Amino acid sequence: MRNAPFEIRPIAGAIGAELYGVTLSDDLPGEIISAIRQALLDHLVIFFRDQDLPPVRLLGFARRLGTPIEYPFLRGIEGFPEIINVAKFEHETVNFGGVWHSDTTYLEEPPMATLLVAREVPEAGGDTLFANQYLAYETLSETMRGVLAGLRSVSSSGKADASRTREDRIRSDGSADACKLLVAEHPVVRTHPETGRQALYINRAHTVSIAGMTPEESLPLLEFLFRHQVRPEFTCRFHWTPGALAIWDNRCVQHYAVNDYPGHRRIMQRITLAGDKPR
């Protein structure tokens, strides 16, 4: 991205960049917001360090990028229903988001993007991995791309890999709909509405089957794709520091919260932005 009004430093060959020289709590002009959005489209996930973003400022900035929506299973923090705590405490063993996934693909209109800010982080560990789903699709053989063309997948909020990672937070912060089962069907390969590029749009946490097939019939194809779409060369890794903010494009990115800090706490706050129906 040439002539950007801030510095952009890619952190890996496939995905991810840190942005420097912008204070997100300021009343940013429209051209800066547009440049941030373009950096997100170019790099798929972008990071900012040392930002002063208490909830009111975090929500204010999020509203400049899109429309914040409430998470279906957890109550928001007091006074801010769109902001949820993503926490793991010292006594807990399972973390929230500790499986490769795109956020809430069991919704008919999954979120466009997610903002995650670090409040408390362990001295070591607690990184997040991100994977480029454009590359996951583009590196498949032409024959495999032909096989996937037109296929649809079924996502469920009840898949055990994901539901287990949010059990602790539902016990403490569960909403009235915490036990509700949500199911949606989406293309296996979606076309990004802004870039026009195609991306794999299944994930291990929520995808249960190929539409029209039983889970057993779907399993071999899905297992191959689940492994392929998070190959190391498609990924980047981000080390959190207090006040760091990540924004990722949920339409073409998967992420994984690494659970490697036993006996320590990690407190984050998250906002998701409304998206559209995948096509």
3-state secondary structure the chain: CCCCCCEEEECCCCCCEEEECCCCCCCCCHHHHHHHHHHHHHHCEEEECCCCCCHHHHHHHHHHHCCEECCCCECCECCECCCEEEEECCCCCCCCCCCCECCCCCCCCCCCEEEEEEEECCCCCCCEEEEEHHHHHHCCCHHHHHHHCCCEEEEECCCHHHHHHHHHHHHHHECCCCCCCCEEEEECEEECCCCCCEEECCCCCCEEEECCCCHHHHHHHHHHHHHHCCCHHHEEEECCCCCCEEEEECCCEEEEECCCCCCCCEEEEEEEECCCCCC
The whole-angstrom separation of Cα 204 and Cα 129 is 15
Please answer whether residues 14 and 43 qualify as being in contact, where contact means their C-beta atoms are separated by less than 8 angstroms.
no
Please report, for residues 92, 104, 168, the alpha-carbon distance to residue 133 in angstroms, rounded to integers and kept in the order given: 31, 16, 29
**For residues 43 and 50, what is the distance between their CA atoms, to the nearest angstrom?**
20
| Catalytic residue list | 101, 103, 255, 270
